[in-house]
Amino acid sequence: MNIAITLTVNGVVRQVEVPGRRLLSDCLRHDLGLTGTHVGCEHGVCGCCTVLLDGEPVRSCLTFAVTVDGHDITTVEGLAAPGGAMSPVQRAFAECHGLQCGFCTPGFLCTVTALLRDNPAPSEEEVLEGISGNLCRCTGYQNIVKSVHRAAEIMAEES
Amino acid sequence: MKPPPFDYHAPRSVGEALETLADVGEHGKVLAGGQSLIPMLNMRLAAPGHLVDINRLTELATLDVEPGGVRVGALARHAQVERSEEVAAAQPLLRQALRLVAHPVIRNRGTVVGSLVHADPAAELPAVLAVLGGSVRLARPGTVRDVPAAGFFTGILESAAEPGELAVSAFFPLLPPRSGTAFREVARRHGDYALAGVAALVGLDDDLRITTARVACVSVGPAPVLVDVTEACGHRPPASADWASAARAVQERTAPEADIHATADYRRHLTGVLAQQALRDAAREALDA
Ligand SMILES: Cc1cc2nc3c(=O)[nH]c(=O)nc-3n(C[C@H](O)[C@H](O)[C@H](O)COP(=O)(O)OP(=O)(O)OC[C@H]3O[C@@H](n4cnc5c(N)ncnc54)[C@H](O)[C@@H]3O)c2cc1C
Ligand code: FES
Ligand code: FES
């Protein structure tokens, strides 16, 4: 039996009918066609499915779409400005080589966007703790950590 | 990996949730933060016929510092409890332990009460409830009961919460004066479940001699292993307490099992080292209190 739900995804109201067992990650990718949210492990370990739920990062693979009926979701597709200009976090990742294959990147971008909103000048330790739940198989993390600090700088310069 | 199908229920009040849980009985499961249940569904380790989602019950998202302790409602997320300065001042062990529970993003969804009911032998919060002597409040239509920690954790992933019951809150007693707490653990990677971990509570009298010392250990038995080491510490001031014999007393009470992550002997060894560290840390806090 399908259940009708309404989600506001990246500012757009979307209505969709899903079975109770539909993971938010699958709802975004398959029902709404937003394939920017990646799916790696489906048990909460890798972090690449991380999206913002009412502004807070959560695992979309550990959330049922029906649970978040009526809520706001931001995915990686929603991080850029409406005209398409990359956000400071996205620009910093590009500038500092914070990605290689890009599989983990959507999760890092969402996690770091919320991290810097709550803590605009994080210490090294706070950055490490903040991204500790996201795995990357390519970069070795050094450039991701640099990207986070650089994003904080860009945000400070532009504010 | 996709969860098996189930009937989904989204009650709007605690009363409605209790009625639904009573109706579906042993075929039902409560869905709280989903950070343990959904992985089990995705891996098809569980296949409940009905899920009763309590995420709309904002009346359970409570966090109250009461005269005797901290009461945490069933929908209070790990992150909410961890961030509360009021809770940290009243019962510091909660924040000390929550920082070791998974990663920040998991803590945004997972609930403290869900972690207790889930009763994973490697989880931190059951040890916190055990060492503090807290309790869990369970409800079904028309009745409520408080189950003390000593009787709550009944086995691996088994708690006293019966089918049809909703855990509505957990109670963590305040620290007595002149006492301190600590949580120490070793995990393969930051945020992983611990290979071994120890929650400690140390209390002193007016002459600053140890009058209470106890620990609860994780990952060395089917449920948190609670050990009172007051005698072994020897009623002395912390500076001359016999921490080594206290640690041996703790090790003797553990019954770890070997798995792919660690041998039983290694877990027992870690537990002794961590017990000493946690007891010393807790005693230092007690001296500062
Ligand atoms: C990658 C990862 C790492 C993790 N690492 C750790 C760790 O290091 N330490 C740790 O302690 N935990 C860890 N966890 C688990 C996390 O803390 C969970 O949030 C917690 O164990 C369960 O809480 P929940 O609210 O998500 O419960 P759910 O997953 O919703 O439920 C878990 C179980 O409890 C039952 N339940 C939940 N709430 C109630 C209630 N109110 N009444 C009756 N039954 C209820 C459910 O029916 C289910 O059986 C980790 C999880 C992940 C995904
Ligand atoms: S796919 Fe969700 S955490 Fe790995
Ligand atoms: S860039 Fe390839 S996994 Fe991170």
The ligand that comes nearest to the alpha carbon of residue A46 is 2
**In the numeric block, which tokens belong to residue B259?**
């798995």
Domain boundary pick from A56, A78, A100: A78
For residues A113 and A61, state if they share a domain.
no
Q: What is the residue range of A73's domain?
A: 2-78
Burial environment of residue B230 by CB neighbours within 10 A (0 to 12, 13 to 18, 19 or more): middle
B116 lines ligand 1 (CB under 6 A): no
Residues in a beta bridge with B104: none
Mean pLDDT of chain A: 97
Mutate to test the interface with A, among B7, B40, B56, B103 (most CBs of A within 10 A): B103
Per-residue pLDDT band for A99 (boundaries 50, 70, 90) equals: very high
| A38: in domain | yes
Beta bridge partner(s), residue B228: B214
Asked if B95 is an interface residue toward chain A (Cβ–Cβ < 8 A), one would say: no
Q: Are residues A70 and A14 in the same domain?
A: yes
d(CA A131, CA B78): 17
Q: Which ligand is nearest to the CA of B189?
A: 1
CB A125 within 8 A of CB A72: no
Instruction: For residue A138, give the ligand 3 atom closest to its CA.
Output: 2
d(CA B247, ligand 1 centre) in Å: 30
Q: Does A97 share its domain with A72?
A: no
CATH of the domain at A10: 3.10.20.30
Cβ pairs bridging A and B (under 8 Å): 87
CATH code at position A108: 1.10.150.120
| Closest residue by Cα to residue A67 from B71, B168, B32, B154 | B32
Is A6 found in the same domain as A44?
A: yes
Is residue A73 domain-shared with residue A93, that is, in the same domain?
no
- The verdict on A115 and A146 lying in the same domain is yes
This complex has an ipTM of 0.96
Annotated domain spans of chain B: 1-52+59-174, 179-288
- Average pLDDT (B166-195) is 95
Nearest CA to ligand 1 atom 4: B102
> Does B105 sit within 8 Å of A133, measured CB to CB?
yes
Give the model confidence (pLDDT) of B38-83 as tens digits. Answer: 999 999 999 999 999 999 999 999 999 999 999 999 999 999 999 9
Whether residue A102 sits in one domain with residue A134: yes
pLDDT (mean) for A29-37: 98
Same domain, residue pair A47 and A19: yes
Instruction: Judge residue B209's burial from the number of C-beta atoms within 10 Å of its C-beta, 0-12 exposed, 13-18 middle, 19 or more buried.
Output: middle
Q: Which residue has the tokens 């605690």?
A: B14
What CATH number has the domain spanning B1-52+59-174? 3.30.465.10
Which band of pLDDT confidence, cut at 50, 70 and 90, is reported for residue B190?
A: confident
Query: Which of A34, A60, A78 represents a domain boundary (last residue)?
Result: A78
CATH of domain B179-288: 3.30.390.50
Contact criterion met (CB < 8 Å) for A20 and B2: no
Which residue from B6, B79, B190 is facing A21, i.e. has the nearest CB? B6
Tell me which of A78, A110, A128 is where a domain ends.
A78
> Which residue of chain B comes nearest to A62, CA vs CA?
B38
Q: How many folded domains does chain A comprise?
A: 2
A83 belongs to a structural domain: no
Q: Does residue A29 form part of some domain?
A: yes
B69 and B172 Cβ atoms separated by less than 8 Å: yes
Is pLDDT at A126 greater than 90 in this prediction? yes
Q: Does the pLDDT at position B1 exceed 80?
A: no
Of all atoms in ligand 2, which is nearest to the CA of residue A61?
2
Average pLDDT, chain B: 96
